[in-house]
Structure 1
Amino acid sequence: MSRTNFDQLLQAGCHFGHLRRKWNPAMAPYIFMERNGIHIIDLNKTVAKVDEAAEALKEIAKTGKKILFVATKKQAKDAVAEKAASINMPYVNERWAGGMLTNFPTIRKAVKKMTNIDKLLNDGTFSNLSKRELLQISRQRAKLEKNLGSIADLTRLPSALFVVDVMKEHIAVKEANRLGIPVFGIVDTNSDPKNIDYVIPANDDAKDSVEAILSAVCGAIAEGLEERKAEKADDKAAAEQKDQPKKKAARKDEAE
């Protein structure tokens, strides 16, 4: 069953590309036609690509690995934060810090610094500081929270990157490519799909378009997480059933 359909994507405005003069020729295979100087994306191909990406993301989630969502543009940042948080996945929607992937240990140190500040604030260590010093620490904590709070639970490199607007987030894409991390991306007609492993051709400027695609892929990820949970429960039940004869034997020995 398809994750989405032509009519849903059409209603969300996923078919609107950029002006012809801004197009990237590498996106030609995904363009249906030109209308009033604007390229129209072939939504039949978008449906197929959404399904392909969704199934791949589902399999990643099923193994218990993390998928990092990236969208810092105004139209997409709130949608990404909401959808990623709903499936307990990390996301970046403020500013991509250079080296977030390629210099991951340093980023983890910054996250730990934020945690340490919280600990020291709560245990009273900072109680003797002046108001000015406390204000400086609070501002530092707020800055760290804004930029890194959404990846606080990311203790190791993600297994995949999902990017909205691959041209704007080119640094994130470049870092993922360098580390061999697969990139899933909503790619508009002005972008280069060359370095994207799973291309989803669609309008990356409209909020409704981004939400429609995020809903489809996050739904698949949620399914993967549920299947993983069910498999763990089955394994636990099987292990307990296997141990029952041993437990009975042990109780019998104790009784004797």
Structure 2
Amino acid sequence: MTKKNWNINLKEMVKVGVHFGHETKKWNPKMAPYIFKERQNSHIINLTYTARFLSEACDFVFDGAKRGKQFMIVGTKHQTADAAKLAALAARCHYVNKKWLAGMLTNWFTTEARLEKLKNLMKKKNTGGFDQFTKKEAAILRRELNKLQEDLGGIRYMKKLPDIVIILDQKGEYTAIRECRTLGIPTICLVDTDCDPDLVDIPIPANDDGRGPIRLILKKLILAIRTGRAL
């Protein structure tokens, strides 16, 4: 795997609060190696490990992008939804930022059928095809289209399963992680002090509740993807 300098700065991570973990009573003992100390009943993450794993993740997505791999970014809670979408659009990745539908990947045949339905309804709407229906029928089709756009809008151009999935919240996206594990899709995931780093391929120890830490880590990963694609 290519090793590059991604300008990962510990001071920058401290500034945005990457090191702030959860209350000590909520911790997962598997995160012990990545915890620096306790402070005021909360854990402080060891940013040396954050930098190491973030650098490894950047190298991994850089190599993947260079080889034409397809990425998906998953972040559905309110702290991650906007960041997931903006990052995905900036790097031409697929994304899920509203709700993870059970079976989205493991039941790909059904997902493909729904994506085809979305494409057909969008085409009808854009070409005036709804005008041939009664008002009631057209209203039903519009509601169906809106629902499909909300559920699948971020993956509407996806032709096959993603090669690499970036997950912004392990606790909230457990179903997505489980599907990736079932299918053998590599995962990169932010892991706070209440998470299980063994569930993902590249865990990045970090505060997964703050918008600042999430944006910073995504910024590095997106830079690596865009750099790889430019080659």
Q: Higher helix share goes to which structure? A: 1
Aligned ranges 1:15-34 → 2 under 5 Å: 15-34=19-38
Residues 164-215 of structure 1, C-alpha deviations (whole Å, 9 max, x = no match): 1111100000000011111100000001111110010000000001000000
| Number of the residue aligned with 2:82 | 78
- Give the counterpart letter for 2:144 in structure 1: Q
Moved more, 44-53 or 127-136: 127-136
**Residue 12 of structure 2 is aligned with which of 2, 5, 8?**
8
Following TM superposition, by how much is the alpha carbon of 1:70 offset from its aligned partner in structure 2, in angstroms?
0.4
| CA deviation vs aligned residue, 1:62-112 (integer Å, no higher than 9, x gap) | 111111110001001101100111010000000000011101121111011
Distance 1:163 1:12 in 2: 19
Return the match for 2:131 from 127, 146, 151.
127
Whether the 8 Å CA contact 1:30–1:41 is kept in 2: the answer is yes
TM-aligned CA deviation for residue 124 of structure 1: 4.2
- Counterpart residue identity of residue 105, structure 1: F
Counterpart position of 2:193: 189
Asked if residue 214 in structure 1 is aligned to residue 218 in structure 2, the reply is yes
Counterpart of 1:86, as a letter, is A
TM-score between the two structures when normalised by the length of structure 2: 0.96
Q: Secondary structure at the match of 2:37?
A: strand
Counterpart of 1:37 in structure 2: which amino acid? N
CA deviation after TM superposition for structure 1 residue 120, in Å: 2.6
Q: Which runs of 5+ in 2 are unaligned?
A: none
Q: Answer whether contact 2:6 2:58 (CA < 8 A) is retained.
A: no
Counterpart AA for 1:211: R
Cα shift at 1:43: 0.7
Question: Aligned with 1:65: secondary structure?
Answer: coil
Q: Is the 8 A contact 2:6 2:220 kept in 1?
A: no
The 2-side partners of 1:126 and 1:78 are apart by 31
In structure 2, how many angstroms separate the alpha carbons of the residues matched to 1:124 and 1:196? 46
1:138 aligns with 2:116: no
Match of 1:35 among 35, 39, 43: 39
Specify the code of the residue in structure 2 equivalent to 1:114: L
In angstroms, what is the RMSD of aligned CA positions? 1.0
- Are residues 1:66 and 2:41 paired? no
Q: Distance in 2 between matches of 1:126 and 1:217?
A: 41
8 Å CA contact retained: 1:167, 1:192: no
User: CA separation in 2, counterparts of 1:35 and 1:91?
Assistant: 36
Report the secondary structure of 2:199's partner residue. coil
Q: Hey, what's the Cα distance between the residues in 2 that align with 1:210 and 1:126?
A: 41
CA distance in 1, matches of 2:49, 2:192: 13
Structure 1: unaligned runs, 5 residues or longer? 228-256
Distance in 2 separating the partners of 1:103 and 1:161: 16
| Preserved contact between residue 66 and residue 89 of structure 1 (Cα < 8 Å) | yes
- Which of these two proteins has the greater Rg computed from alpha carbons? 1
Percentage of matched positions with identical amino acids:
38
Find the aligned partners of 1:132 and 1:221 in 2 and give their Cα distance: 45
8 Å CA contact 2:16, 2:212 repeated in 1: yes
- Equivalence for 1:48: 52
Match of 1:108 in 2: 112
Which residue is equivalent to 2:153?
A: 149
Q: What amino acid maps onto 1:197 in structure 2?
A: D
